[in-house]
Amino acid sequence: MIDCGAFPNIVTFSSVLDALCKEGKTAEALNLVEEMFLRGVKPNVVTYNSLINSLCHSAQWKEATRLFNRMLDEGIAPDVVTFTTVIHALCKERRTEEALSVLELMSQRVQGVLPDIITLTILLDAVFQGGMPEEAYKVVEAKVKYGMELSKITCSMLIADYCFRGNMDKAKKVIDLMVIKDNVPADIASCYKALVNGYMQAKRIGEALRLVEEMIEKGVMLDVETLKTLRGLRPKKAFCICRIVPHETARTS
């Protein structure tokens, strides 16, 4: 092609690079990128995405993140595909704090690029596995910020973890994140139950009772097990339960 006086452009280079990546020839693809620079052809986001994805698939995490940083240094704006791929790579390598930093970078540096459900799910799994409840809460907050629904399972796990650590205030904040503008998710009962049990185990009976009142106000049904636990309190406290729980709910016990 060059012998004929025709020089490859970004489209040609990107097509060849994509083909090399699909064949798993990442070393050749990296060499091609260097040749692009030598010929004055600047790689674009599509070029980088193909190469970063290929490096991640071949478990070359360090090379993938190096290329991502080079991309930023050259002023090429990553898209959601780039960010998700890099976050996944860092999580695979258990570099969770760096993955969280990439999420932060995503919201601060690049305008118009928002994480999607895949990005945040990958990150949430990583912080749970790494035993990082505070970071998990930040990811849950991000899901709410970007208008994504919160999973009942995710929130129950986070509440249980906070209760186990004695951080009841943070556990309650997870419930508050789920209930936005009086929009109560249909499957929130198990999350409330986990928090009621947490208050009971922490001997914070007054807060457990207030939470039951909140449940009744929001139309969340108490299950039989929770009612029996609450009615096992001292007579005075048990009387409070009978007073705040509607009779039709109480009969289920």
The C-alpha torsion from 21 through 25 and 31 to 37, rounded to 10°, is -10
Q: What is the DSSP string of 116-159?
A: -HHHHHHHHHHHHHTT-HHHHHHHHHHHHHTTPPPPHHHHHHHH
Between CA 229 and CA 227 the distance in angstroms is 5
pLDDT average, residue stretch 60-89 = 88
Quickly state the pLDDT bin for 112 (edges 50, 70, 90). low
Q: What is the mean pLDDT of residues 48-56?
A: 90
Q: Which tens digit of pLDDT belongs to each residue from 222-232? A: 777 777 766 66
Q: Is 252's pLDDT higher than 50? A: no
The CATH number of 150-253 is 1.25.40.10
Which own/partner contact pairs does 66-70 have at CB distance under 8 Å and 24+ positions apart? none
b (16+ CB within 10 A) / e for 75-87: eeebebbbbbbbb
CA triplet 12, 15, 17: central angle to 5 degrees? 105
Cα(107)–Cα(6) distance, integer angstroms: 41
- Evaluate if pTM is beyond 0.85: no
Mean pLDDT of the chain: 81
Taking only the tens place, the pLDDT of each residue in 128-141 is: 888 888 888 888 88
Q: How confident is the model at residue 253 (pLDDT cuts 50, 70, 90)?
A: very low
Contact 79, 49 (CB under 8 A): yes
Q: How confident is the model at residue 238 (pLDDT cuts 50, 70, 90)?
A: very low
Residue 140 to residue 127: CA distance in whole angstroms: 11
